[in-house]
Amino acid sequence: MDREEVRKRAREKAEELVGKMTLEEKAGQLRYNAPPVKRLGIPAYNWWNEALHGVARAGQATVFPQAIGMAASFDTELMEKVGDAVATEGRAKYNAYTAMEDRDIYKGLTFWAPNVNIFRDPRWGRGHETYGEDPYLTGRMGVAYVKGMQGDGETMKAAACAKHFAVHSGPEGLRHEFDAVVSKKDMGETYLPAFEALVKEAGVEAVMGAYNRTNGEPCCGSRTLIQEILRGKWGFMGHVVSDCWAIRDFHEHHMVTSTPKESAAMAINAGCDLNCGVTYLHILGAYEDGTVSEETITEAAVRLFTTRYLLGLFEGSEFDGIPYEKVECREHLMLAKKAAAESFVLLKNDGILPLKKEKIRTVGVIGPNANSRAALVGNYHGTASDFVTVQEGLMRYLGEEVRVLTSAGCHLFREKTESLALVHDRLAEAKIVAENSDVVILCLGLDETLEGEEGDTGNSYASGDKTDLSLPKSQELLMEALAETGTPVVLCMMAGSDLDLSYAARHFPAILQVWYPGGQGGTAVAETLFGDISPSGKLPVTFYETIEELPEFTDYSMKGRTYRYMEGKAQYPFGYGLTYGKVSVEGAEIVKLEDRENGSSYGVRVRMKNVGSTAVHEVLQAYVKKEESVYDSLHPSLCAFTRVFLDGGAEKETVLEIPRSAFTVVNEEGERIPGGNRYRFYIGFSQPDERSVELMGQKPAEVILEQDKE
């Protein structure tokens, strides 16, 4: 049975059930904490659950790397497996909880993930929840995660939710009152494509609105976004949920309504079915005033019960037997370690990596994030039963063969670690450790207290956002102190966004970006540093030289932003990352394709060779420039990618399929139109920009496709 027929049957059952409810009962079901309707045998259901990178906020679960790290893998197959694992654990937990009649928050099967907003500015504190700055990469990773989570059977394994719709990426401190003004071109080219892909390709079951306004309309009450685009143009059939307490912002902060009743009416009439918050307690009052019809309330309830039927919550499903033993099982822990390893991006290596255990007597492990669990998990995380920090991972890996000395070196951001001590109270210890070590593994960066969501973070000054690209002063002083010792330092940067690495690049022989690598992160770091695994991740965001080259944070125009429109030279570019080997593209040619499910008509046949002796995974990337169109982005844009594996000295051939979207552009009216007849493709392991070529030591291959003019 196809997806449309399955939904049709589920909706028919929902209509029949909702038809038996009173108006009051229907209205009550539009809240995230829906009460039971005992006379109809309907149990309570809490719609609010989180699964950004593993089942979150409900106790034990496998903690995968934060989303930005998984994006760095450029691995859609991995993302689908992670989504499936998350859904499996969600089902296992749901089965166990409901058997005990525990229907609390964070215990349902409707997960408010993934976050497919575009990470357009490195200051945004929630950027690490996303898949980066590129619409194509974000769409591919998001589609894979949703497919893995929801499955392809008649019953959904779990329900995913694309958030935050739309045009949402800070500032956090203004989000409740902010109006994101954006052109039709930027909307259609940058901010909406990932959402469209999740709706049309992955059949995502839910879409969550954003806190802000977009072009004057509150997103959770926007007829333009919800009715015209989401349900109209894209044909979305699932349900829409507000961000939490966002509808209250209509009258308290956006000032587009005067009362909660007006706000509730505005949201539901625009098509927002479910309220995360309490404003829909006023729905019946709005009905009595004549501003909301019973038909509108009924339709919202039907959509919500359609989802519950699709999940098999009333009639049972093949997933009801998933046992609790699946939670954080061995298979999922190995998948989490694999995801972490694939996420690491090697930014610099002067030959020190991989380290050789037999040549080292003592390793110094230094830094405030070296033994930090918070630096493993990012935000919206579950609780691992075994958090392996970098320090623990190295000690386990090295065993008794190599001595490990440790020092925090400094507080994450304060000037001392002990309240009664003098400032910089751990610097001397760090220098002692370095001077007594053959090599130092330095773990710096941030955690969710320094970059995160407004209200969920201790960074009250910027409400979760960053004000600049600098590390905290305490960490800068630690870097300088270690550089003076002369001991070689390998920097492991644990953060979810761009930080200025210029000092480290000048003074340290290697830099490994490890993001927030999840519960198994420390194990993966150790195996990577010592060469059991070759790093293979690529940056899903641009690392800028300075914040000064960016437009104002509140400016949502794409001019000057991300690799597609930046005007300066990146410190480390989008799509860049080294391995322990070197793979070259030996040749590339355009080929015609037929009968591809994704609509591709063309591909590029690529011949590659591993010119080194180390077996490596690499990410083959294709970028396109539409040479005849004035509407194309400033620089070539990513249009295809795939991971490849080559043994040392091996040669390989693959065909990289080019999607139809690569041959289109978005005009000033927001319309997607053909991009002309001449297309230049760049095929390699990075962007074709000057900085990437400088860092990689090789240029991507170029091929030109000229289509026949009609």
Question: 3-class SS at 179?
Answer: strand
Q: Which of 243, 454, 618, 632 is catalytic?
A: 243
Is 314:307 a contact under the CB 8 Å cutoff?
Answer: no
Clarify whether 454 is annotated catalytic. no
Q: Which residue has the tokens 């009609």?
A: 710
Is 54:61 a contact under the CB 8 Å cutoff?
Answer: yes
**For residue 543, which of 493, 481, 618 has the smallest C-alpha distance?**
493
Determine phi and psi for 472, rounding to 5 degrees. Answer: -55, 150
Q: How far apart are CA 173 and CA 169, in angstroms?
A: 11
Clarify whether 451 is annotated catalytic. yes
Q: Which residues pair with 706 in a beta bridge?
A: 678
Q: Which residue has the tokens 């790093």?
A: 535
**For residue 338, which of 170, 56, 532, 110 has the smallest C-alpha distance?**
532
**For residue 345, which of 517, 479, 504 has the smallest C-alpha distance?**
517
Q: Which residues pair with 611 in a beta bridge?
A: none
Q: How far apart are CA 162 and CA 160, in angstroms?
A: 7
Q: Which two tokens stand for residue 215?
A: 């072009």
Where are the extended beta strands (E) located within 141-181?
A: 161-165, 179-180
Buried b (16+ CB within 10 A) or exposed e, 398-436: beeebebbbbbbbbbbeebbeeeeeebbbbebbbebbee
Q: Which of 273, 342, 451, 527 is catalytic?
A: 451
Q: How far is CA 144 from CA 131, 198, 691, 705, in A?
A: 12, 9, 31, 29
> Given the DSSP bridges, would you call strands 672-674 and 664-666 parallel, antiparallel or unpaired?
antiparallel
Q: How far apart are CA 307 and CA 159, in angstroms?
A: 8
Q: Which two tokens stand for residue 61?
A: 């679960």
Q: Show which residues are catalytic.
A: 243, 451
